[in-house]
Structure 1
Amino acid sequence: MARLILFNKPHGVLSQFTDRGSETTRATLSDFIAIPGVYPAGRLDRDSEGLLLLTDDGHLQARIAEPKFKMPKTYLVQVEGDVTDEALALLRSGVRLKDGLTLPAEAERIDAPDLWPRDPPVRFRKSVPDCWLRLTIREGRNRQVRRMTAAVGHPTLRLVRWQIGEWTVEDIPPGERRENSVR
């Protein structure tokens, strides 16, 4: 039986247990999780928050993190501007990035979700509207969602990974975790 930890990674925390090569001390997973033998299944950049899965099983880790398995990852994304139907169509058909065309994403406009406050808060500008998207991708390029929204003219302001496969961060406060067992 594999151990699986669902962790709600706060903004500003690295998706690793140590911070090598930095002159300043940055928050890492070791500030929140003191369980030996578990490792992140994938990454979530320091500026993003939400679901990070950790496991003690290498096969499960590969099934979650390896792009060849195309496990869906759903993000709640606050973007700059009012997203048009054309921008959504581009996200749904695949976006050309410097490292090639992305796979088509599921993309829809949503009402602002009832999320925990972010620390630090997203910068608010009265003159620039924003809106929220639910975006599901099946690959995991470096900072992919941020690059996709920027490529269609809507830079990301806040990025929360909400779900990976069947696992969700719902009802897990930032900095907290829930443990599951997986066969």
Structure 2
Amino acid sequence: MKLVRLLANLGYGSRKQATSLCRQGRVTDASGEVLYADDVVDPAEVRVDGVPLDPPHGLVLMLHKPVGYTCSTKDPGRVVYDLLPPRFRLRNPALSPVGRLDRDTTGLLLMTDDGTLLHRIVSPKSALPKVYVATLARDLRGDEAAVFASGALLLESDDKPLMPAGMEVLGPRCARLTLHEGRYHQVRRMFAAVGNHVEALHRERIGGLTLAPLAEGAWRALTGEDVARLFGTAT
């Protein structure tokens, strides 16, 4: 792929703007030699203002989402893209959330521009465990774990019962849930179905990946080993 197209696809600007970057001598190889717009390059060898190029198509990253951000490009308020380099919003193919966390939910959010991988992660066939910690408005009544594990809980407006889910009691008003599917506002609706209300919700794990030691609002690109760990195939 020619350098100008590569830069444009990675969000460094339009083709015209990418060409201008090259003309200004701001795009070089690893040794500092200036590259030109029509050069065919190895992305790993490209530097923009001395900084290595963003990962090309196939980028997967994890973000520690804070409260108050939505997983959208159209929301007029704060969005998760505000926590990333501005050019990430302009990548082609687009960088998309893998599933969504609502505005008031914090924790582990995966994003990728690899559509095949995205669908593999969210597919019910993958059954990747998603682990949440919920802080509740009222004390647990004691039978919630059995209800959630039954595989018979039918949420309002759904026509299919939930898959069995695990629950660990962490305190009178705190519980850790392990889900193997991802329905709309699922954890909040599960507790509503048993007469409680979720005041705070945090996703701490997807598959074999956890946030540690990623600080709130921070992100990092995942390696191939990370993705293998996600699916439990790391060696």
Q: Report TM bin, short chain.
A: 0.7 to 0.9
Counterpart of 2:154 in structure 1 is 96
Say how many residue pairs are matched.
160
SS of structure 1 residue aligned to 2:74: coil
Counterpart of 1:162 in structure 2 is 204
SS of structure 1 residue aligned to 2:121: helix
Structure 1: which amino acid aligns with 2:155? L
- Give the 5 Å matches for 1:1-183: 2-19=58-75, 25-34=76-85, 35=88, 36=91, 37-94=94-151, 95-98=153-156, 99=158, 100-111=160-171, 131-182=173-224
Q: CA deviation at 1:176?
A: 0.8
SS of structure 1 residue aligned to 2:144: helix
The answer to which structure, 1 or 2, has the higher relative contact order (CA under 8 A, 6+ apart) is: 1
Determine which structure has the larger strand proportion and give its number: 1
Structure 1: which amino acid aligns with 2:164? P
TM-score calculated relative to the size of structure 1:
0.80
Gaps of 5+ in 1: 20-24, 112-129
Counterpart of 1:127 in structure 2 is none
Q: CA deviation at 1:84?
A: 3.1
Q: Deviations over 1:109-138 (max 9, x none)?
A: 115xxxxxxxxxxxxxxxxxx611110111
- In the aligned structure 2, how far is the partner of 1:7 from the partner of 1:108? 25
- In structure 2, relative to structure 1, the CA distance for the partners of 1:158 and 1:11 (3 Å cut) is same
Determine which structure has the larger helix proportion and give its number: 2
Structure 2: which amino acid aligns with 1:97? L
Conserved in 2, the CA contact under 8 Å of 1:75 and 1:135?
Answer: yes
Identity among equivalent positions (%) equals 37
Once superposed, what is the RMSD of the aligned Cα atoms? 1.8
The structure with the largest alpha-carbon Rg is 2
SS of structure 2 residue aligned to 1:31: helix
